[in-house]
Amino acid sequence: MATTYTAKDITVLEGLEPVRKRPGMYIGGVGGAGLHHLVWEVLDNSVDEAMNGYASEVHVTLHADGASVTISDNGRGIPIDRHPKLKKPALEIILTTLHSGGKFEGQNYKTAGGLHGVGASVVNALSKELVATIKKGGAKYQQKFRRGKPAAALKKVGAARGTGTTIYFHPDPTIFPKTEFNPDIICERLEVTSYLHKGLRITFDDHVSKRKETFAHVNGVADYLAKITADRNARPVTEQPFTLERDNGGRLEVVMRWTEATDEHLRSYVNGIPTGSGGAHENGFRAGLGKAVRNYIETHKLWPRGPKLQHEDIREGLVAVLSVFITDPQFQGQTKDRLNNPEIAGQIDTAVRQGLELWLNENRTAAEAIVARIILAAKAREASRAATVQVTRKSATTRANPPGKLSDCTSNKPAECELFIVEGDSAGGSAKQGRNRTFQAILPLRGKVLNTEQASLKKVLENKELADLVTALGTGVGKGMDLSKLRYGKLVLLADADSDGHHIVTLMLTFVYRHLTELIHAGHVYLARPPLYRVNIGKETHWAQTDVDRDRIIKKHKDHGKPEITRFKGLGEMMPKTLWDTTLNPKTRTLQQVSITDALETERVISDLMGKDPQPRFHFIMERADEAEALDL
């Protein structure tokens, strides 16, 4: 370690070096989300052209290698003339300089999603190759870049009709561990974008799966709400949704509908950018919504006897799309998933309150159905609260009073503690003997737990297996969860590696998703990956989690002798040391973190596969029957 600290120790990162040095600061990380964020940055620039009336079409191509993308539009085209101060083509400046662009002064773009002036340059910095092609003034111009630096000067490459910008890029594999894009993620984003921008035509040409789709929706967010409601299998309470569209200094579009679902589902956007973490616009929307409904109930003397209405009752079952377009959005961070403009909240509050209150009074039949739905939600909340209290009273407040068959760990530091949920006493016994008692706790389950997708919260909490889990975690369930009381930093679902084990994990995930959702959002839920096979070849032992792993191992070591294969019937068959070495030891195990990357798709899958209606499961099985080598029915 240096004993002196002088000016020569100071590192100055120039140009796009900061992006390559700390990519997470600009795209949130180098995993799948960060990789796809490169596409969104380039796409946003093309959409900004359309948003301001300069483009009508965007074409996105995922090339056959799966790791390179081309995005083109018929907008004005990035300027290619020389900048008067920097004496370089504007195109080169935009793609090689942070905080450069034409969206700062508000003269070229009334509203825009890419406001920080770093999107295109960040994509360039994190790509092993980027090619920009511009059509302007009857000619086509092109410039190539390598890892953020010009590989050649801007040059004219031929004649062209019309105007527009085309960006080809290939992410740098030295930055991203995996550079293959997911066509479904891109396709979904493009479809959503077409809903938010009426009149925009977006084509997706997927050379990986050899499909081509075009998205264009004349009814905009109204069509989007219909799709969300259908995908969630949420039965509407009213025949028609409430819609609101205002254009006064900035455009506001709201479309919403109450359904029989038990949760609120709001999708919000600012200048076409999804704001998953909400912000001022969502706060204003919820405030205006609550005031409008309460004013209507007060005016018509519809207050219920018994439970007092709360905000969560009013919003239960609500499915809504909120889209705002403003001149100077203040996003939180470059990933732009939260809006911080405080003045927007009051404006949206007023607009939604006035619009919704008028609509409720003009549509009395729909209004009465909505109020009845809200009162029902309040009564259900009171009933579930009473059931939760019964479990809370039994909660373990100290380590000396463990629930059920919990074998607790000795550490009292939640961040380092792990709770393994295992199937059966036999597997539980092996896990208890094989674990590290300092930080690993074991809670055995008896067989397959209750399918919570088909049960009320009261029935769920009456189930001893699930009640023991809730008690062990210490957080409570549902909307009353308190993560500050969580006793384990990791909740690990550990079941046999066969189909029965997969079913048990699915049942547990359904419970966690429905009633302990915040654990998933906070990154506390994991799946263990125990081996299904032990493959001995010569003097070496290999572990395979699937049939595919087993075959790969045998093929790889085919010259090392005849393999001896052991298939584990269950975790209980494993010696404690084997279970530790393969599944429990933090240095050698594989844990898969559970996350929700697409809330709508997750909701649909859980509802289809675990819900009361068997029809979606029938279609799922029939459509995939030819993919199964054997069915365990």
Active site residues: 423, 496, 498, 500
Q: Per DSSP, what are the bridge partners of residue 291?
A: none
From the list 258, 255, 259, the residue with the least C-alpha distance to 234 is 259
Residue ranges with strand state E in 353-505? 418-423, 440-445, 490-494
From the list 152, 100, 117, the residue with the least C-alpha distance to 336 is 117
Contact 15, 117 (CB under 8 A): no
Contact 467, 525 (CB under 8 A): no
What is 58-119 written as a DSSP string?
EEEEE-TTSS-EEEEE-SS----SBPTTT-SBHHHHHHHSTT-SS-SSSSS-SS-S--SS-H
Q: How far apart are CA 153 and CA 480, in angstroms?
A: 60
Q: How far apart are CA 479 and CA 513, in angstroms?
A: 12
User: Which residues does 401 contact at the CB level (< 8 Å), separation at least 6?
Assistant: none
Q: How far apart are CA 606 and CA 600, in angstroms?
A: 10
Q: How far apart are CA 267 and CA 603, in angstroms?
A: 14
Dihedral pair phi/psi, residue 596, rounded to 5°:
-110, 100
Contact 166, 71 (CB under 8 A): yes
Structure token pair of residue 390: 């019964």
- For residue 58, the tally of other CB atoms under 10 A from its CB is 27
Q: Per DSSP, what are the bridge partners of residue 266?
A: 320
Q: Per DSSP, what are the bridge partners of residue 234?
A: none
Contact 253, 244 (CB under 8 A): yes
Q: Per DSSP, what are the bridge partners of residue 205?
A: 61, 212
Q: Give the three-class secondary structure for 317.
A: coil
What is 573-595 written as a DSSP string?
GS-HHHHIIIII-TTT--EEE--
Contact 258, 370 (CB under 8 A): yes
Q: How far apart are CA 430 and CA 575, in angstroms?
A: 7
Cα 122 off chain centre by: 22
Residue with tokens 């409008």: 292
Structure token pair of residue 116: 């920080």
